[in-house]
């Protein structure tokens, strides 16, 4: 099974909130071939966000909570995306997390990237990629022998914000919508995350 990444979070009381976590999510038209599916979810408490993200996996929740606390989690939001047109049947994901500092965002990126790759399972072939023009972005494409399609997850930071854009599709070029969306999203949110 190929998987898109997931997050949980816990609020840091007493710290300036910064941008709204929902303002860090993709907007209509920012990810070609995809549109928001259902309502976005956001939280500033571990309990609320974990209930949505870790789906009852107590071990993953405990590890994620520790990472979020040590990296200065303030707020997080997630939005499922659905393929449109030629991408009908594909799934996508947009996640935005506000942290106390840029260094916390970078540490959390490394932690979440490692976890997302591990979640692909031992049968997946992982190909890492960078995005020219998006410094520090780290992405990967996961494929599985005998299964059509690929899962693509791209993690990047903008100041003290950590962002993820991902898709799971049978498209011949699964990275294209993700990299286009990430560049657009970065241009839009980078000043609010400084």
Question: Can you spell out the DSSP letters for 38-49?
Answer: S--EEESSHHHH
Using CA atoms, how far apart are residues 176 and 178, in angstroms rounded to an integer?
A: 5
pLDDT given at position 1? 37
Residue 190, both tokens: 């980078």
- The string of DSSP codes covering 12-78 is -TTS---S-GGGGSPPTTSSTTEEE-S--EEESSHHHHHHHHSTT-HHHHHHHHHHHHHHTEEEEEE
Residue 15, pLDDT score: 47
| Cα–Cα nearest to 130, from 120, 115, 140 | 140
Q: What is the pLDDT of residue 82?
A: 96
* pLDDT score recorded for residue 32: 95
Rg (CA), the chain: 15
**Stated pTM of the model:** 0.89
Instruction: Report pLDDT for 108.
Output: 92
Looking at residue 5, its pLDDT comes to 53
d(CA 151, CA 149): 7
Distances (CA, A) of 178 to 1, 142, 174: 20, 14, 7
pLDDT in tens, 54-101: 666 788 877 888 888 889 888 989 999 999 998 899 999 999 999 999
Q: Which residues of the chain have pLDDT under 50?
A: 1-2, 6-15
pLDDT for residue 168: 94
Domains of the chain, first to last: 21-189 (3.40.1000.70)
Phi first, then psi, for residue 86 (nearest 5°) are -65, -20
CA–CA distance, 111 with 105 (Å, rounded to integer): 10
């Amino acid at each position: 099974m190929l998987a898109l990444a997931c997050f949980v979070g816990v609020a840091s009381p007493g710290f300036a909130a910064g941008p709204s976590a929902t303002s860090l999510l993709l907007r209509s038209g920012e990810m070609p071939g995809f549109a928001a599916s259902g309502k976005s979810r956001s939280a500033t408490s571990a309990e609320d966000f974990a209930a949505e993200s870790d789906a009852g996996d107590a071990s993953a929740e405990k590890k994620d909570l520790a990472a979020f606390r040590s990296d200065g989690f303030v707020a997080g939001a997630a939005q499922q995306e659905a393929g449109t047109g030629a991408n009908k049947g594909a799934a996508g994901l947009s996640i935005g997390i506000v942290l106390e500092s840029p260094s916390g965002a970078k540490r959390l990126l490394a932690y979440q990237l490692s976890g997302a790759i591990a979640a692909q399972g031992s049968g997946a072939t992982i190909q890492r990629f960078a995005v020219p023009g998006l410094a520090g972005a780290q992405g990967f494409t996961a494929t599985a022998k005998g299964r059509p399609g690929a899962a693509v997850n791209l993690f990047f930071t903008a100041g003290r914000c950590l962002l993820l854009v991902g898709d799971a599709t049978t498209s011949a070029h699964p990275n294209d919508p993700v990299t286009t969306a990430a560049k657009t999203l970065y241009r839009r949110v980078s000043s609010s995350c400084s």
